[in-house]
Chains A and B, each alone.
Chain A
């Protein structure tokens, strides 16, 4: 069964607008972490934001925020005031804290920001 689901293969947004990238996850582990990474066309994987399953508040990092809805098992990434440089592939990932600490990734969402 897929542990991380990103249902949007591609998203378009205009510069300066906000955009939400969807991510749902599946785990029975009560302790887990959720991550978002950005992969620009140059190929590197850049860490954006982290949310722990016991965190009471939604994580924020600058223009990035994570809309964490635990009961719905969703961890959507919100990018405010999109910039042209935000055009990239975005991956949601999860680490279950029982067992080893590796990350399981979703298939990604390609975001294109237009002027």
Chain B
């Protein structure tokens, strides 16, 4: 158990629908990152939050949004789902900003299948 909790582990839904993926970071970690892993695109960075504020944005579609709440958990909202959104979505967390490794610890992922 990495200490990063993601729910749900598996999700099957239909095109056009909306889903919410949830992430609880490791205790003490302030940063949360969302990544999408698909066969054709590999691991793509979506968005990062630090202590409730958006810190960086990657290849996140406009149909996707995220937020980090005061208790530091984060949610990734995916709407108007398309077949191509089927992927493994990872959440990761890291300690407060510091020099050194600042290793990202990943959750087990949420596997989304859009039919």
A residues engaging B (CB < 8 A)? 33, 35, 37, 43-47, 50, 52, 91, 95, 99-108
Contact = CB atoms under 8 A, between A and B. Distances in A.
Interface in B45-99: 45, 48, 55-56, 58, 88, 90, 92, 94, 97
Interface of B: 2, 31, 33, 42-43, 45, 48, 55-56, 58, 88, 90, 92, 94, 97, 100-109, 111
26 contacts: A33-B101, A35-B101, A35-B103, A35-B104, A37-B106, A44-B2, A44-B106, A44-B107, A44-B108, A44-B109, A46-B106, A47-B103, A47-B106, A50-B101, A50-B103, A52-B100, A100-B48, A100-B55, A101-B94, A102-B56, A103-B45, A103-B104, A105-B43, A107-B42, A108-B42, A108-B43
User: Chain B interface secondary structure, helix, strand, loop or mixed?
Assistant: strand
Contact of B97 (A46, A50, A99, A101): A101
A50 B33 CA distance: 19
Nearest to B9: A43
B88 A43 contact: yes
Contacts of A100: 48, 55-56
